[in-house]
Structure 1
Amino acid sequence: MTTSLAEDWDHEVIALVSAARNGDGDAWRRLVENYSGMLRSRIRRFRLGNEDAQDVIQTTWLLALQNLHRLEQEKRLGGWLTTIAIRESMKLLRRSKEISTDDLDAVDRPDADAGMASVDRRLDGAWLSVAVAEAAAELPPRQRQLLTMLAERPELHYVDLARELGRPIGSIGPSRARCLTRLRGLLTERGVTPDLLD
């Protein structure tokens, strides 16, 4: 019986994480080498400067090392690291938000707090969007296809969905329920709690 490249990679990641947890420096270095490029590409959307991006990556690896024992599913390391990097990028953006002179003049106005709350909401929304997209990308292809159609064409009746997907009508409801349950689980792993989705 042959295994797929993805299965081989999952086994390798599981072995490397296990070894790194036990203090194997070579295993840790391999994880850093294998995932640092992915982290750079994930945080690129935040338009951080080179030094800030490097700080985020270093902080991500530090937090990962400190919390590696908490990672329940080793093969989900990539998603877990991405979540840490996104959160650290958001924190950095909040801390280093450039304030224009107009913003400085506005600090004494009563609506200044409302303006900062609006920035926080936008940053939280950006983080949530990234987390949902990353989680959806981990769904099996059939669930991802169903989720995409439900999101992009909410007006479709189950009969139309079944016809377009080539599936029995009675399978759409249960498939939708399984898909959403799995998506919730993936989001929970990324620290997205139900209250954040309201």
Structure 2
Amino acid sequence: MSSETILVSQLQDRHSKEAAFRSLVGQYQERLYWHIRRMVLCHEDADDVLQNTFIKVFRNIDQFKGESKLYSWMYRIATNEALSFMKKRSRIQGVSDAEIGQLMVDQLEADPYFDGEAAQLQLQRALATLPEKQRLVFNMKYFEEMKYDEISEVLETSVGALKASYHLAVKKIEGYLKKKPLE
């Protein structure tokens, strides 16, 4: 039995669930945080979404059937939580889903936890112009260095479609950066 299979069985056993969950959080917290942070950009928002993600994982672990890797299942939950957060934020602020990304980039400059350079900020601006799926695929492939088959499991999309999305995202980012170079 793999260590993941053992962890899942401990998570699904009411006697060992809490200790196994602490182990799960320790193992995946940082990776999920950065995945979420690249989507919502703000540290406080990423912490809130991460907390909601782990609550959902804890409540729904009994429904995990092992048809995918545990981490893929959790990434899917984290992705959905981040997307829901962004949709809710766009409704509250009265802007479109496309505009919320740009507003979040604008707020990034004031975020005390963002220590990026002008080039990183410019890349975030370029990413904010991408459609949601292209942005997700780019983040997972470029920043998280995930393989296409792993991204396919998380997003439940074919590898071919993911490769096309990544290629389009790269071209759009290059085009954006050529039109708006750093000063």
* TM-score band w.r.t. shorter chain: 0.5 to 0.7
User: How many angstroms apart in 2 are the aligned matches of 1:125 and 1:138?
Assistant: 15
Structure 1 residue 99: deviation in Å? 4.4
5 Å matches for 1:14-163? 14-23=5-14, 24=16, 25-73=18-66, 76-97=69-90, 99=93, 116=96, 118=98, 122-130=131-139, 137-138=146-147
Q: Which stretches in structure 2 are left out of the alignment for 5+ residues?
A: 101-129, 166-183
Structure 1 residue 129: deviation in Å? 4.3
Q: Which amino acid aligns with 1:48?
A: L
SS at 1:59 equivalent: helix
What is the root-mean-square deviation of aligned Cα atoms in Å?
Answer: 3.6
User: How many angstroms apart in 2 are the aligned matches of 1:190 and 1:18?
Assistant: 21
User: Residue 190 of structure 1 aligns with which residue?
Assistant: 154
Structure 1 residue 18: deviation in Å? 0.7
Cα contact 1:19–1:27 (8 A) shared by 2: yes
User: How many angstroms apart in 2 are the aligned matches of 1:15 and 1:125?
Assistant: 35
Bigger radius of gyration: 1
What is the identity percentage for the equivalent residue pairs of Structure 1 and Structure 2?
Answer: 23
User: CA 1:186–1:47 in 2, change beyond 3 Å: closer, same or farther?
Assistant: closer
User: How many angstroms apart in 2 are the aligned matches of 1:135 and 1:57?
Assistant: 17
Q: Which amino acid aligns with 1:137?
A: M
SS at 2:44 equivalent: helix
Structure 1 residue 119: deviation in Å? 5.2
Q: What TM-score results when the alignment is normalised by the length of structure 2?
A: 0.54
User: CA 1:137–1:127 in 2, change beyond 3 Å: closer, same or farther?
Assistant: closer
What is the count of residue pairs matched by the alignment?
A: 128
User: How many angstroms apart in 2 are the aligned matches of 1:123 and 1:74?
Assistant: 26
Cα contact 1:80–1:190 (8 A) shared by 2: yes
Q: Which amino acid aligns with 2:136?
A: W
User: CA 1:96–1:71 in 2, change beyond 3 Å: closer, same or farther?
Assistant: same
User: Residue 168 of structure 1 aligns with which residue?
Assistant: none
Cα contact 1:64–1:81 (8 A) shared by 2: yes
